[in-house]
A and B are shown apart, each in its own frame.
Chain A
Amino acid sequence: MLAAEVGGQRRFEVEADTVGSALRSLPVSNLVFDERGRLRQLVNVYVDGVDVREHDGMDTSLTGGEEIRLVAAIAGG
Chain B
Amino acid sequence: MSALLVGTRKGLFVLTSGDERRDWEVSGPLLKGWEVFHAVPDPRDGSVYAATNSFVYGATVHRSEDRGETWTRAEELGLPEDTGLTLEKTWHVRPGREGEDGRLWLGGAPGVLFRSDDHGRTWETVTSLVGHESRDKWNPGAGGMCCHSIQLDPDDPSRMYVAISAAGTFRTEDGGESWEPANSGVAADFFPDNPFPEVGQCVHKLLVHPARPERLWQQNHCGVYRSDDHGRNWERLEGNGLPSGFGFPIMLDPSDPDTALVIPEEGAENRVTPDSRLGVYRTRDGGQSWELLESGLPEPAWVAVLREASSFDDGGVYFGTQSGSVFASADGGSSWVEAATHLPPILSVEAADWR
**Residues of chain A at the chain B interface (Cβ within 8 Å):** 1-2, 4-5, 7, 30-32, 34-36, 40, 42-43, 72-73, 75-76
Contacts and interface: CB of A to CB of B under 8 A. Distances in A.
Given A1-B33, A4-B33, A35 B78 contact: yes
Interface residues of B, number: 21
Contact of A31 (B32, B60, B71): B60
A56 B3 CA distance: 51
Contacts, number: 47
Given A32-B57, A76-B55, 15 more contacts: A1-B32, A1-B54, A4-B32, A4-B33, A30-B60, A30-B74, A30-B76, A31-B54, A34-B78, A35-B77, A36-B78, A36-B86, A40-B56, A42-B56, A43-B56
Interface in B296-325: none
A42 B56 CA distance: 5
B87 interface: yes
A4 B52 CA distance: 14
B79 A35 contact: yes
28 contacts: A1-B33, A1-B34, A1-B54, A1-B56, A2-B57, A4-B32, A4-B33, A5-B71, A5-B73, A30-B74, A30-B75, A30-B76, A31-B58, A31-B60, A31-B73, A32-B57, A34-B78, A35-B77, A35-B78, A35-B79, A35-B86, A35-B87, A40-B58, A42-B55, A72-B56, A73-B56, A75-B55, A76-B55
Nearest to B31: A4
Contacts of A36: 78, 81, 86
B126 to A, nearest CB: 16
A10 to B, nearest CB: 15
Given A34-B86, A35-B86, A35-B87, A40 B57 contact: yes
B248 to A, nearest CB: 24
Contacts of B56: 1, 40, 42-43, 72-73, 75
Contacts of A73: 56
Contacts of A72: 56
